[in-house]
Amino acid sequence: MLYVNPHAARAPYPGELQDIMSIARAQESRAWLAHWDGLTPGSTPLRALPDLAASLGVRSVLVKDEALRSTLGSFKALGAPIALVRLLLREHAALGLTAQSLLRGEHRDALVGVTVISATDGNHGRALAAAAQSIGCRCVIVLHAQVSEEREQAIAAYGAEIVRVEGNYDASVAAAASLATRHGWSVVSDTSYEGYEIIPRDVMQGYGTLAAEVDEALSMADAGSDDACPLTHVFLQGGVGGLAAGIVSYLWERWGVWRPTFVVVEPVQADCLYQSAIAGKVASASGSVDSVMAGLACGEASPLAWRFLQPSVDAFMTVTDAEAVEAMRRLARGSDNDVPFVAGESGVAGLAGLMQAGAAPSLAAAIGLSANARVLLINTEGATAPQGYAALVGEPAASVMQRQQAWLAR
């Protein structure tokens, strides 16, 4: 399903939003992250898939591959460390901390009494646990009933203490907030709620690193000019809206009225942003929330993220779990001209939306998806649950990676 957002505007990036998130802060986050050994040095690849583009009837499809960002296997490795660093810089300024010294673990002794906590569907908690381990903080992660044992073990491997609760993601968010209040811990969450916006802002600002790298790659390729955006469409994963807000804010500030068309894609049963667009305000999902796209299985939109998405996202889409699995398999297969990708369930939501729109002329027309379209997708995760990935795709991630390496070596 697709809903065209009547509130989306073609206007310069508003000053009140720039005060919250900006290109300058995204670039600062990017510079800080260069000092963390939890990330692979340099930018992640931005790859063209010409055969996929031809099959969808568009001019080009570019995919930013966050599966290669780090051993964490997802874009979440950009947000949690930045939020944790900014939190410690604010609350422990007397210690003479810097972002670089924190990420190098130089203040372990001074921070031994600090505990951070967060709810997660998997990737954010794993990234926070890894960052806390590097910096020297204690980390507690709250998991809801639908988070797999495989994802729990991946988080615990970074030294986090695990707390299990009944219910869905929203129940785990409430539980994390309650535990933090009771014990005097700091919540480092990627979703906002009433009275809690500073840390989610910092998480989203870390995600701006992605957009900065895309902008840099396109500029180096001389793909556009100062007043002509080299992209016509960007399809982004939904969830609570943090990733989308981080990317949209950067590209909107960068290109202003010439910004690309933004399309946000969610699971049909976890459609909180889609429902928010219809209601014209933050709303809850209409379905069960449980989805194979675990990282997007969120029932409540982030109010802070929605402040950026409502005036900028041109359309909201929902896709089925089956469509997501087919997108995973399409990227894994590759082709003569398309490099194979390891893309997890949530990582392919944007492609699933693009494939749905490409197969339906009415949907394509509604968002201006034509033969001249130049589309950006972000593969937000690799096989963060390897057993689940192999079951859905029909082969292990290691096999796909071997074919990727062979394709790149041709």
- Would you please indicate which residues are annotated as catalytic (active-site) residues? 76, 121
Q: How far apart are the first and last CA of the chain?
A: 40
Phi, psi for 403 (deg, rounded to 5)? -70, -35
β-strands 60-65, 161-164 pairing:
unpaired
Query: Which SS3 state, helix, strand or coil, does residue 64 take?
Result: strand
Distance CA 339, CA 297 (A): 29
β-strands 60-65, 138-143 pairing:
unpaired
- Number of Cβ atoms within 10 Å of the Cβ of 220: 8
β-strands 46-48, 138-143 pairing:
unpaired
Distance CA 200, CA 239 (A): 13
Distance CA 131, CA 108 (A): 12
Alpha-carbon separation of residue 92 from 36, 95, 102, 108, 201 (angstroms): 20, 6, 11, 13, 19
- Taking Cα atoms as reference points, which of 266, 271, 291, 293 lies closest to residue 282? 271
Query: Which SS3 state, helix, strand or coil, does residue 263 take?
Result: strand
| Residue type present at position 167 | G
Question: In 92-197, which residue ranges form alpha helices assigned H by DSSP?
Answer: 99-103, 123-135, 149-156, 169-183
Q: Show the tokens assigned to 185.
A: 């811990």
Q: Say which residues have a Cβ less than 8 Å from residue 371's Cβ, sequence separation at least 6.
A: 57, 58, 59
- Taking Cα atoms as reference points, which of 14, 65, 40, 1 lies closest to residue 267? 1
Alpha-carbon separation of residue 20 from 25, 212, 234, 235, 245 (angstroms): 9, 17, 22, 23, 11
Residues facing 3 on adjacent strands: 316
